[in-house]
Amino acid sequence: MKNQQLSAKFQNKKATITVEVPVMIFEENNIQIAYIPVLDLAGYGKTERETKKSLNHSLTEYFSYTINKNTLTEDLKAHGWTIRKKSKPYVAPELTDIFLKNQYLHNIVNSQRYKMDRMGVEIPQVA
């Protein structure tokens, strides 16, 4: 999925910050899945295009919901993110830090053929 410009865009009056997040891509039961462990979000489809569209939808819905409920910062912290007020305000946790806490990630790593990629995600600045 590299170079396919996976990103979620949530229109907000505040600035957005782009962060790079790891994406695990694998197939299960003839369905392609793209999973972002540091947000615990996934997209899926029969084709790479469907998978990309589904992941973008998941990201957009996640940001829309957490911004509207005013819980984005709280939810990111619950996923292990560091939130700062100065430079690099959003720092994702390392995969090694969440590996033992996230059973889905643990199962992917230990039982699936997968590839890793990175994607830029635009996070609305609310911190």
Per-residue pLDDT tens digits for 45-60:
999 889 989 998 999 8
Query: What residues does each domain of the chain span?
Result: 16-124
Residue 96 to residue 7: CA distance in whole angstroms: 24
Question: The domain at 16-124 falls in which architecture?
Answer: 2-Layer Sandwich (3.30)
77-105 pLDDT, tens digit per residue, is 999 999 887 767 888 899 889 988 899 99
Name the H helices within 26-120. Answer: 48-68, 72-78, 95-98, 103-111
Residue 105: Cβ within 10 Å count: 19
